[in-house]
Amino acid sequence: MQRRADELEYLVMARELNSPYRRFFDAPIELLPNVDGFGYDRFVRAVYGHLGEHSHPGAYEVCYLVSGSVEWWNEDGLVEVHPGDVYFTRPDELHGGVDTVMHCCELFWLIIKMPREFEPDFAAMRRRTFRGNQAIEECFRSIRDELISPGTHAKELLQANLRRLLVECVRAYEKHAAHTSTAHITPAIRRSIDWMQAHLGEDLSVQGAARVAQLSISRFYERFSEETGYSPLEYHNRLRLHRARQLLADTRRPITQIAFDLGFSSSQYFATVFKNHLGMTPGEFRARHSLEKRAG
Protein backbone atom coordinates (compact mmCIF):
# COMPACT_ATOMS: atom_id res chain seq x y z
CA MET A 1 0.00 0.00 0.00
CA GLN A 2 1.39 3.39 -0.98
CA ARG A 3 1.63 6.11 1.65
CA ARG A 4 1.60 9.87 1.15
CA ALA A 5 5.12 11.19 0.68
CA ASP A 6 4.80 13.60 3.60
CA GLU A 7 4.03 10.60 5.81
CA LEU A 8 6.84 8.49 4.37
CA GLU A 9 9.88 8.25 6.62
CA TYR A 10 12.83 6.02 5.81
CA LEU A 11 15.30 4.63 8.30
CA VAL A 12 17.64 2.62 6.12
CA MET A 13 20.39 0.31 7.28
CA ALA A 14 21.93 0.80 3.85
CA ARG A 15 25.06 -1.30 3.76
CA GLU A 16 25.40 -0.83 0.03
CA LEU A 17 25.59 2.93 0.63
CA ASN A 18 27.78 2.56 3.71
CA SER A 19 25.27 4.92 5.33
CA PRO A 20 23.97 3.50 8.59
CA TYR A 21 21.57 6.38 9.00
CA ARG A 22 19.46 8.00 6.31
CA ARG A 23 16.24 9.94 6.46
CA PHE A 24 14.71 11.41 3.34
CA PHE A 25 11.38 12.68 2.11
CA ASP A 26 10.34 12.89 -1.53
CA ALA A 27 7.87 15.24 -3.21
CA PRO A 28 5.12 16.03 -2.83
CA ILE A 29 5.61 16.97 0.81
CA GLU A 30 2.23 18.41 1.75
CA LEU A 31 3.61 20.07 4.85
CA LEU A 32 6.20 21.91 2.70
CA PRO A 33 4.63 22.55 -0.72
CA ASN A 34 7.71 24.25 -2.24
CA VAL A 35 10.04 21.39 -1.26
CA ASP A 36 10.72 18.60 -3.77
CA GLY A 37 13.01 16.68 -1.44
CA PHE A 38 14.61 16.85 1.98
CA GLY A 39 17.13 14.54 3.57
CA TYR A 40 19.84 13.74 6.05
CA ASP A 41 22.71 11.32 5.40
CA ARG A 42 25.70 10.07 7.33
CA PHE A 43 28.23 8.10 5.27
CA VAL A 44 30.84 6.22 7.27
CA ARG A 45 33.09 5.74 4.22
CA ALA A 46 33.31 6.92 0.62
CA VAL A 47 30.90 5.31 -1.84
CA TYR A 48 31.78 5.05 -5.52
CA GLY A 49 28.92 5.45 -8.00
CA HIS A 50 26.49 7.04 -5.54
CA LEU A 51 26.59 10.64 -6.76
CA GLY A 52 26.45 10.65 -10.55
CA GLU A 53 25.40 13.42 -12.90
CA HIS A 54 21.89 14.72 -12.17
CA SER A 55 19.77 17.86 -12.02
CA HIS A 56 16.61 19.18 -10.36
CA PRO A 57 14.04 20.64 -12.79
CA GLY A 58 13.00 24.09 -11.67
CA ALA A 59 14.52 23.66 -8.21
CA TYR A 60 17.59 24.69 -6.24
CA GLU A 61 19.49 22.19 -4.12
CA VAL A 62 20.85 23.57 -0.84
CA CYS A 63 23.24 21.41 1.23
CA TYR A 64 24.79 21.90 4.65
CA LEU A 65 27.83 19.82 5.54
CA VAL A 66 27.94 18.88 9.22
CA SER A 67 31.17 16.87 9.11
CA GLY A 68 33.62 15.40 6.63
CA SER A 69 34.73 16.97 3.35
CA VAL A 70 33.44 16.39 -0.17
CA GLU A 71 34.47 17.11 -3.76
CA TRP A 72 31.54 18.00 -5.99
CA TRP A 73 31.16 19.57 -9.43
CA ASN A 74 28.61 21.79 -11.11
CA GLU A 75 28.46 23.74 -14.37
CA ASP A 76 30.85 26.35 -12.93
CA GLY A 77 33.55 23.77 -12.09
CA LEU A 78 34.85 21.79 -9.13
CA VAL A 79 34.00 22.67 -5.53
CA GLU A 80 35.41 21.44 -2.23
CA VAL A 81 32.93 21.66 0.62
CA HIS A 82 34.09 21.62 4.25
CA PRO A 83 32.32 21.18 7.61
CA GLY A 84 30.04 24.11 8.32
CA ASP A 85 29.76 25.09 4.64
CA VAL A 86 26.60 25.69 2.64
CA TYR A 87 26.60 24.56 -1.00
CA PHE A 88 23.90 25.11 -3.59
CA THR A 89 23.10 24.33 -7.22
CA ARG A 90 20.79 26.21 -9.54
CA PRO A 91 17.56 24.97 -11.16
CA ASP A 92 18.10 22.48 -14.02
CA GLU A 93 21.88 22.58 -13.51
CA LEU A 94 23.87 19.39 -14.01
CA HIS A 95 25.97 18.48 -10.98
CA GLY A 96 27.38 15.50 -9.11
CA GLY A 97 30.32 14.09 -7.21
CA VAL A 98 33.85 14.03 -8.62
CA ASP A 99 34.27 10.52 -10.11
CA THR A 100 30.66 9.89 -8.91
CA VAL A 101 32.02 9.48 -5.36
CA MET A 102 30.09 10.35 -2.22
CA HIS A 103 32.74 11.00 0.40
CA CYS A 104 32.62 10.11 4.07
CA CYS A 105 30.48 12.88 5.55
CA GLU A 106 27.36 13.94 7.40
CA LEU A 107 25.03 16.35 5.61
CA PHE A 108 21.57 17.79 5.20
CA TRP A 109 20.10 18.58 1.79
CA LEU A 110 17.04 20.39 0.50
CA ILE A 111 15.57 20.53 -3.01
CA ILE A 112 13.30 23.55 -3.26
CA LYS A 113 11.36 25.59 -5.78
CA MET A 114 12.62 28.87 -4.42
CA PRO A 115 9.93 31.21 -3.03
CA ARG A 116 9.60 34.38 -5.06
CA GLU A 117 10.94 36.67 -2.34
CA PHE A 118 14.19 34.66 -2.05
CA GLU A 119 14.81 33.97 -5.74
CA PRO A 120 16.72 37.25 -6.43
CA ASP A 121 19.04 36.62 -3.47
CA PHE A 122 20.02 33.11 -4.55
CA ALA A 123 20.20 34.04 -8.24
CA ALA A 124 22.73 36.76 -7.36
CA MET A 125 25.05 34.41 -5.43
CA ARG A 126 28.28 33.88 -7.36
CA ARG A 127 30.18 31.51 -5.08
CA ARG A 128 28.58 28.08 -4.76
CA THR A 129 29.89 27.41 -1.28
CA PHE A 130 30.15 29.70 1.71
CA ARG A 131 30.47 29.49 5.46
CA GLY A 132 27.22 28.67 7.23
CA ASN A 133 26.33 29.11 10.88
CA GLN A 134 24.78 27.29 13.81
CA ALA A 135 21.32 28.66 13.02
CA ILE A 136 21.37 26.99 9.60
CA GLU A 137 22.20 23.62 11.11
CA GLU A 138 19.51 24.09 13.77
CA CYS A 139 16.91 24.84 11.09
CA PHE A 140 17.83 21.73 9.13
CA ARG A 141 17.65 19.57 12.25
CA SER A 142 14.32 21.06 13.30
CA ILE A 143 12.80 20.44 9.88
CA ARG A 144 14.04 16.85 9.87
CA ASP A 145 12.72 16.11 13.34
CA GLU A 146 9.31 17.66 12.64
CA LEU A 147 8.92 15.74 9.37
CA ILE A 148 9.69 12.52 11.23
CA SER A 149 7.23 13.21 14.07
CA PRO A 150 4.78 15.98 13.11
CA GLY A 151 3.14 17.70 16.06
CA THR A 152 0.40 20.27 16.48
CA HIS A 153 0.69 23.03 13.88
CA ALA A 154 3.47 21.09 12.16
CA LYS A 155 2.90 22.85 8.84
CA GLU A 156 3.23 26.31 10.40
CA LEU A 157 6.38 25.32 12.31
CA LEU A 158 7.98 23.67 9.27
CA GLN A 159 7.29 26.64 7.02
CA ALA A 160 8.64 29.03 9.66
CA ASN A 161 11.84 27.00 9.99
CA LEU A 162 12.19 26.78 6.21
CA ARG A 163 11.87 30.54 5.84
CA ARG A 164 14.34 31.09 8.66
CA LEU A 165 16.73 28.65 6.97
CA LEU A 166 16.60 30.62 3.72
CA VAL A 167 17.03 33.95 5.55
CA GLU A 168 20.05 32.59 7.45
CA CYS A 169 21.59 31.33 4.18
CA VAL A 170 21.19 34.74 2.56
CA ARG A 171 22.70 36.49 5.59
CA ALA A 172 25.58 34.01 5.81
CA TYR A 173 26.35 34.60 2.13
CA GLU A 174 26.25 38.38 2.62
CA LYS A 175 28.66 38.06 5.54
CA HIS A 176 30.93 35.90 3.43
CA ALA A 177 30.81 38.36 0.53
CA ALA A 178 31.63 41.25 2.86
CA HIS A 179 34.80 39.47 3.97
CA THR A 180 35.97 38.02 0.68
CA SER A 181 39.60 38.37 1.68
CA THR A 182 39.11 35.59 4.24
CA ALA A 183 37.90 33.28 1.47
CA HIS A 184 41.33 33.29 -0.18
CA ILE A 185 44.50 31.52 0.84
CA THR A 186 47.09 34.04 1.98
CA PRO A 187 50.66 34.05 0.60
CA ALA A 188 52.04 32.55 3.83
CA ILE A 189 49.76 29.50 3.70
CA ARG A 190 50.21 29.25 -0.08
CA ARG A 191 53.96 28.94 0.47
CA SER A 192 53.40 26.09 2.92
CA ILE A 193 51.10 24.32 0.45
CA ASP A 194 53.69 24.67 -2.32
CA TRP A 195 56.27 23.24 0.08
CA MET A 196 53.99 20.28 0.86
CA GLN A 197 53.48 19.72 -2.87
CA ALA A 198 57.24 19.49 -3.33
CA HIS A 199 57.57 16.96 -0.49
CA LEU A 200 54.71 14.54 -1.16
CA GLY A 201 57.01 11.54 -0.88
CA GLU A 202 58.01 12.42 2.68
CA ASP A 203 56.17 12.34 6.00
CA LEU A 204 54.78 15.79 6.69
CA SER A 205 57.01 18.01 8.81
CA VAL A 206 54.65 20.55 10.36
CA GLN A 207 57.68 22.38 11.69
CA GLY A 208 59.07 22.68 8.17
CA ALA A 209 55.75 23.87 6.73
CA ALA A 210 55.37 26.42 9.52
CA ARG A 211 58.91 27.67 8.96
CA VAL A 212 58.20 28.24 5.26
CA ALA A 213 55.06 30.18 6.22
CA GLN A 214 57.10 32.18 8.77
CA LEU A 215 54.62 31.33 11.52
CA SER A 216 54.87 29.65 14.89
CA ILE A 217 53.61 26.08 14.89
CA SER A 218 50.51 26.92 16.93
CA ARG A 219 49.67 29.92 14.74
CA PHE A 220 50.35 27.88 11.62
CA TYR A 221 47.87 25.19 12.69
CA GLU A 222 45.24 27.85 13.38
CA ARG A 223 45.75 29.79 10.15
CA PHE A 224 46.03 26.69 7.97
CA SER A 225 42.75 25.23 9.26
CA GLU A 226 40.95 28.56 8.93
CA GLU A 227 42.04 29.08 5.33
CA THR A 228 41.82 25.56 3.92
CA GLY A 229 39.26 23.80 6.09
CA TYR A 230 41.73 21.00 6.82
CA SER A 231 44.49 20.26 9.27
CA PRO A 232 47.98 20.30 7.68
CA LEU A 233 48.14 16.48 7.79
CA GLU A 234 44.70 16.09 6.20
CA TYR A 235 45.64 18.52 3.45
CA HIS A 236 48.95 16.78 2.82
CA ASN A 237 47.15 13.45 2.43
CA ARG A 238 44.64 15.00 0.04
CA LEU A 239 47.51 16.35 -2.07
CA ARG A 240 49.01 12.85 -2.13
CA LEU A 241 45.72 11.28 -3.21
CA HIS A 242 45.17 13.91 -5.89
CA ARG A 243 48.62 13.17 -7.30
CA ALA A 244 47.92 9.43 -7.06
CA ARG A 245 44.77 9.86 -9.15
CA GLN A 246 46.76 11.70 -11.82
CA LEU A 247 49.45 9.00 -11.94
CA LEU A 248 46.94 6.15 -12.02
CA ALA A 249 44.98 7.76 -14.85
CA ASP A 250 47.84 9.11 -16.97
CA THR A 251 50.73 6.67 -16.51
CA ARG A 252 51.37 2.92 -16.41
CA ARG A 253 53.53 3.18 -13.33
CA PRO A 254 52.93 0.17 -11.03
CA ILE A 255 50.58 0.85 -8.15
CA THR A 256 53.18 -0.27 -5.60
CA GLN A 257 55.67 2.21 -7.06
CA ILE A 258 53.11 5.02 -6.90
CA ALA A 259 52.44 4.18 -3.26
CA PHE A 260 56.13 4.33 -2.31
CA ASP A 261 56.82 7.43 -4.44
CA LEU A 262 54.08 9.26 -2.55
CA GLY A 263 55.36 8.25 0.85
CA PHE A 264 52.89 5.50 1.78
CA SER A 265 54.45 2.78 3.91
CA SER A 266 52.96 -0.04 1.82
CA SER A 267 50.74 -0.63 -1.18
CA GLN A 268 48.13 -2.16 1.15
CA TYR A 269 47.97 0.98 3.28
CA PHE A 270 47.82 3.12 0.14
CA ALA A 271 44.90 1.02 -1.16
CA THR A 272 43.06 1.38 2.15
CA VAL A 273 43.46 5.17 2.27
CA PHE A 274 42.55 5.49 -1.41
CA LYS A 275 39.39 3.40 -1.07
CA ASN A 276 38.27 5.23 2.05
CA HIS A 277 38.58 8.51 0.15
CA LEU A 278 37.23 7.50 -3.28
CA GLY A 279 35.15 4.39 -2.68
CA MET A 280 37.28 2.20 -4.96
CA THR A 281 40.76 0.67 -4.96
CA PRO A 282 43.62 2.17 -7.00
CA GLY A 283 43.34 -0.78 -9.40
CA GLU A 284 39.61 -0.21 -9.89
CA PHE A 285 40.20 3.51 -10.43
CA ARG A 286 42.84 2.82 -13.10
CA ALA A 287 40.65 0.24 -14.85
CA ARG A 288 37.71 2.62 -14.94
CA HIS A 289 39.76 5.42 -16.48
CA SER A 290 41.26 3.01 -19.03
CA LEU A 291 37.74 2.02 -20.12
CA GLU A 292 36.70 5.67 -20.39
CA LYS A 293 39.73 6.48 -22.55
CA ARG A 294 38.98 3.59 -24.91
CA ALA A 295 35.30 4.55 -25.06
CA GLY A 296 36.20 8.17 -25.78
When the pLDDT of each residue in the chain is averaged and rounded to a whole number, the result is: 86
Residue 240, number of CB atoms within 10 A of its CB: 25
Instruction: Specify whether 197 is located in the same domain as 148.
Output: no
Backbone angles phi, psi at 95, to 5 degrees: -160, 170
283-292 contact pairs (CB < 8 A, 24+): 283/255, 284/48, 285/99, 285/245, 285/248, 285/249, 286/248, 286/249, 286/255, 289/248, 289/249
Instruction: Give yes or no for a contact between 215 and 188, defined as CB atoms under 8 angstroms apart.
Output: yes
Considering only residues 194 and 227, tell me which one the structure prediction assigns the higher pLDDT.
Answer: 194
Instruction: Specify whether 24 is located in the same domain as 157.
Output: yes
Q: What is the mean pLDDT of residues 216-225?
A: 92
Instruction: Specify whether 150 is located in the same domain as 67.
Output: yes
Residue 230 pLDDT exceeds 60: yes
Please give the Cα distance from 243 to 238 (Å, whole number).
Answer: 9
Residue 249 pLDDT exceeds 70: yes
Domain boundary residue among 181, 205, 226? 181
Whether pTM exceeds 0.85: no
Instruction: Specify whether 264 is located in the same domain as 227.
Output: yes
Domain boundary residue among 181, 211, 227? 181
Q: What is the mean pLDDT of residues 52-70?
A: 94
Residue 15 pLDDT exceeds 50: no
Neighbouring residues of 218: CB distance < 8 A, sequence distance ≥ 6: none
Amino acid at 84: G
Instruction: Specify whether 91 is located in the same domain as 167.
Output: yes
Domain boundary residue among 155, 181, 207? 181
**Total domain count, the chain:** 2
Instruction: Specify whether 275 is located in the same domain as 215.
Output: yes
Question: 128-176 pLDDT, tens per residue?
Answer: 999 999 999 999 999 999 999 999 999 999 999 999 999 999 999 998 8
Instruction: Specify whether 221 is located in the same domain as 207.
Output: yes
pLDDT at position 21 is: 65
Instruction: Specify whether 271 is located in the same domain as 155.
Output: no
Residue 39 pLDDT exceeds 80: yes
In DSSP notation, 18-40 reads TBSEEEEEESP-TTSTTEEEEEE
CATH value at residue 222: 1.10.10.60
Instruction: Give yes or no for a contact between 191 and 213, defined as CB atoms under 8 angstroms apart.
Output: yes
How many Å separate Cα 84 from the centre of its chain? 10
CATH value at residue 30: 2.60.120.10
Look up the domain containing 153 and give its range: 5-181
Please give the Cα distance from 5 to 26 (Å, whole number).
Answer: 6
Amino acid at 205: S
Angstrom distances, CA of residue 108 to CA of 21, 36, 136, 294: 12, 14, 10, 38
Instruction: Specify whether 44 is located in the same domain as 173.
Output: yes
Instruction: Specify whether 152 is located in the same domain as 273.
Output: no
Instruction: Specify whether 193 is located in the same domain as 51.
Output: no
Instruction: Specify whether 159 is located in the same domain as 12.
Output: yes
pLDDT at position 182 is: 46
Quote the percentage of the chain above a pLDDT of 70. 89
pLDDT at position 2 is: 36
Question: 253-283 pLDDT, tens per residue?
Answer: 999 999 999 999 899 999 988 888 878 899 9
